Structure 1
């Protein structure tokens, strides 16, 4: 590893916002694992999250969990966030994390048009999206009716209410990477002419209504995190916003709807988002909204996660400087924490030489 030459203190300052307090600035990034047969997280999943809480992770964001809709996920081992058995499994996860002194939020997810016809767990369910288009523009199904859109908003709200009832510390709404909410946000996949389409404000309407509906269910004090990205799984150069003015038009309706924290997904946290400024996407989001932000993207590693090949450890100096400059408030760590549940504690203890490089075989196991 390239040694970290400056104090790691900025990573381990406590975080206190209006609705969320954390012991430090670290977040476990949401990472699809697929170890929940029948959509039910078991004891191994609870232990997996508990190990991160025991080793000083400030906030755990779960892997994406399917909301109550037949085509919300692709795969029979992706955890669901509805149904008695799945929710009982998540209740145990919350219990284990809290016993270890951690905090945890579920990521509420619908994959939209990235699902293929015939995918499990509901083979008969067709993928749904704003215009029935895949990320590559192929028309697969008919556009959702307004009634179907409203029903999906209600499904997110139900999940939010269940999260609060189960004792989670907030929720994260997955609006990134080309999944359902992002398909509404992106002009390439949203060709609607009703109130859910058209200009940037119209394309934001679905996300706004989801946040508003979740807020009604959970009340004013429960944290709502919204994750978004420019890039899509099929297009790393895609843009929702080409400049800061467009980004502001995207974000302000979400602020007004009730988002407390933005989780700004990039592939490399150190890259500037727009020409003429060193700010990354999280930095711009904080500047424009005044809200706390989470940055993410290849933290501590020398290769982007989108290749999911191996990656070596690197110095944390650049990350620490950006945190210390208050460009962003929290930092999400993905593959490093997937590989090593003790990563945060090792950094805190100054054991940089003990940090593990990422090995893609880690995807097949719950460390």
Structure 2
């Protein structure tokens, strides 16, 4: 018998140590490698990206005296101990960093995680939002002092739509680069701009300013593999079908979250996004009643973070209400945050397909 929980009733607390503990690839990418990335023969840039990133990871030299190759230095710093930059030997390559430029679902996060796995530690892997949350929890200076002890910092989903956060991350990356830390970042090209060459790369290089010349751009072309070769996204279920489908599809589920969309989003407005990972950490399946189109920008951005945490954990979703391609208004889908919203629609559609049809393809 599954345990049913209600996310709307949860108010998780997260310490700085909890945040730091999450700076590694999620469960979904916990065991990926360059060998498990399957390049699409129709897009040769994918195989080229694997080769270049493999070489980049091999060029990075790990910290001396750290046989674990993990992120333990973060906790050592918080406890008052620092490894000392004199004991570290940094790798040297032609670039301080790599930027992976490409559209949705072409495997950039897989490639980023593969680079992290292949490189020696200590190292950190997180989303753009997780790094900005880390700065908020530790202060900018302490975050720099922690991360500059690392050989590699990977930043997934670098966001170009918030000027304040972009300037913050540009400054953080500059200080880490000056300390010899290697950097790899990803973000998304807009779906309507996929034929425009390095549209996102130009934006990225403009925003990181003085670092731009130190980054090599690797283009990754291709189709959204979350939907490649699969049937169209399923229609939402009738509300009285949800628990029946849950019982049929997931008879051995351990923890099921069941909430109305209204109650869930109301609680998201009370819980800081840095706590969303904790909010869903034990959830195996999500049941959502009466999904509605989100009309407020602040709530839409919070749901983007929740969707990323659900996708990280590969949580199947069973839902009624509007389909997830109508989760955001048309104005939002063509506005300044459209990259975030397209990503969320793609990811939630994949999770619903998995929950209601048993198709992964993720």
TM norm structure 2: 0.31
Which protein is richer in helix relative to its size? Answer: 2
**Larger-gyration structure (1/2):** 2
TM norm structure 1: 0.30
Q: Which has the higher contact order (CA 8 A, sep 6+)?
A: 2
